[in-house]
Homo-oligomer: A and B are copies of this chain.
Amino acid sequence: MTKKISKLRPRAITPKGFRDYFGAEVVRRDAMLRQVADIYFRYGFEPLESSAIETVDALGKFLPDTDQPNAGIFCWHENNDWLALRYDLTAPLARVYAQYQNHLPTPYRRYSMGPVWRNEKPGIGRYRQFYQCDADTVGSASMASDAEICAMLADALEGVGIPKGEYQVKLNNRKILNGVLACAGLSEQAQRDHVLRTIDKFDKVGVDGVMQLLTSGRLDESGAYIEGVGLRQSQAEAIIAFLTSGECNPDQILDELRTIIGTSEVGQEGIDELKKITELLDIQGYGPDQIRIDTTVVRGLGYYTGPVYEAELTFDITDERGRQRQFGSVAGGGRYDNLVQRFTGQRIPATGVSLGVDRLLTALDIKSRRNSDIDGPVLVTVMDRERMQDYQKMAVELRNNGVRAEVYLGNPKSFGNQLKYADRRNAPVAIIEGADEKLRGIIQIKDLVLGKEIAKTATVGEWRQRPAQFEVPRNELVNSVKKILEQGI
């Protein structure tokens, strides 16, 4: 019988691939996104919060008349429409721009931050709902737009706490890549794509690896044989020359590229565009230590049409296998021209960047090694449940002086439970006022952070100068607590 009842109870569980975010996780993400938003706003970008639900038709890419109507997205049939949750922030931007074209300023520069949903197989650290943070300029063909996005990206990274020298915005142009491929005599699209995907591996496999992959093939670390693109040695060398164009100043790189590209018109156009961008960045004071040309940047195929950029964090981390490596990419973007066209038939130039919110949060975690435990509230314990007013008054005093504080609201019978609660909340300080203290006009202040430290160390001696619990007159509550919070450990 009991079993039958319990069977009727729903399971308290998030659907597969979804999760909840608690306390410090929410605070930290909000703080980071706010810092980014402030910078984007100061550049004159407008926030846009589009509807989370779109028609499948407007989202494009995924259409309900394929075998699997919901491949990649969450969608359902509603009256006569197929509705779906947005899977990114760019498709909704295209829809918004097409819908409000006559009301929006041109160019339309906007940023968007919010969850997107993917109906994909979840994995470790891969969820089916996650945050994106995009900034795009729609309706401007000017290279100044691309330069602006790169500058803004550098500012955003510094703004959230990645100092100069620990990140790098890398800049390339798909037209140059196309020029190089043309020079090498590659005209077939499938072969070009294969070459581009190979170039994209440059960071991992280096010059020799790419050389092998472009020609006959390569034996992988794992022992697997990766088939080559099948280029002739001379073709592959031209591409390698391009990929290894020096790390010197932009003008030299651009000159070198001009020689490599030769007569390819599209290639020269790409170099001109890159030149304009680097000139604009230079005058704004962005040096190659912040933003520099990197000919190995490729980005997604069949999407970008001109400048492409990628932000990498360059500080070292230890990976799962215990090896030192750079943290890697946290943002990417570029120029794309055919997103709005789907709706209006007009080719509208656009360029934009997307920040990897979770990646960047992880990076900030590693960098700061911050102890998120310090965020807990001061806990006013309840020694006498008839004097709730006295305790509430203390919390009010603390809060009015800017200190996060609360009164214990559970059953106060067990003081042990109150301290256990304080521990779970990461409370830095507990206040105690029993009948005896009340009579004497004092309160006990328990420094919980120090208490934990003392508990960790073998000898108490070194802490003798600073006891983890002490008494002060009641009217010194606020000052004493503030002093503890300020001094930390």
Establish whether residues B345 and A58, one from each chain, have CB atoms under 8 Å apart when the complex forms: no
Selected interface stretch from A10-18, A434-442, A454-462 = A10-18
Residues of the B chain whose Cβ atoms lie less than 8 Å from the Cβ of A107: 409-410
Establish whether residues B283 and A389, one from each chain, have CB atoms under 8 Å apart when the complex forms: yes
Known: A47-B26, A99-B13. A147 touches B392 (CB 8 A): yes
Known: A41-B404, A283-B389, A396-B285. A15 touches B83 (CB 8 A): yes
Q: How far is A96 from B14 in the complex, measured between Cα atoms in Å?
A: 8
Establish whether residues B13 and A58, one from each chain, have CB atoms under 8 Å apart when the complex forms: yes
The reply to whether the CB of A78 lies closer than 8 angstroms to some CB of chain B is: yes
Known: A58-B10, A409-B144, A409-B148. A81 touches B393 (CB 8 A): no
Known: A10-B342, A99-B13. A388 touches B280 (CB 8 A): yes
The reply to whether the CB of A76 lies closer than 8 angstroms to some CB of chain B is: yes
Q: What's the nearest-Cβ distance from chain B to residue A362, in Å? A: 17
The reply to whether the CB of A225 lies closer than 8 angstroms to some CB of chain B is: no
Establish whether residues B51 and A20, one from each chain, have CB atoms under 8 Å apart when the complex forms: yes
Q: How far is A47 from B26 in the complex, measured between Cα atoms in Å?
A: 6
Count the A residues whose beta carbon is within 8 Å of the partner chain — how many? Answer: 102
Contact with B along A55-92 (1 / 0, CB 8 A): 10110100000000010001110100101000000001
8 A-B pairs closest in CB distance: A44-B406, A12-B98, A76-B76, A44-B377, A26-B47, A105-B424, A18-B51, A283-B389
Q: List 15 A-B contacts (CB under 8 A).
A: A10-B58, A11-B57, A12-B58, A12-B344, A20-B49, A22-B46, A30-B47, A41-B404, A42-B399, A44-B405, A75-B76, A141-B411, A147-B392, A148-B409, A283-B389
User: Residues on A close to B: CB < 8 A?
Assistant: 5-6, 9-16, 18-23, 25-27, 30, 34, 37, 41-44, 46-55, 57-58, 60, 70, 74-76, 78, 81, 83, 92, 94-100, 104-107, 109, 115, 117, 119, 128-129, 137, 139-142, 144-145, 147-148, 279-280, 283-285, 342-345, 377, 379, 388-389, 392-393, 396, 399, 402-407, 409-411, 421, 424-425
Additional pairs, 9, CB under 8 Å, beyond known A15-B78, A15-B81, A15-B83: A11-B55, A15-B51, A20-B49, A20-B96, A41-B404, A44-B405, A53-B129, A105-B425, A106-B421
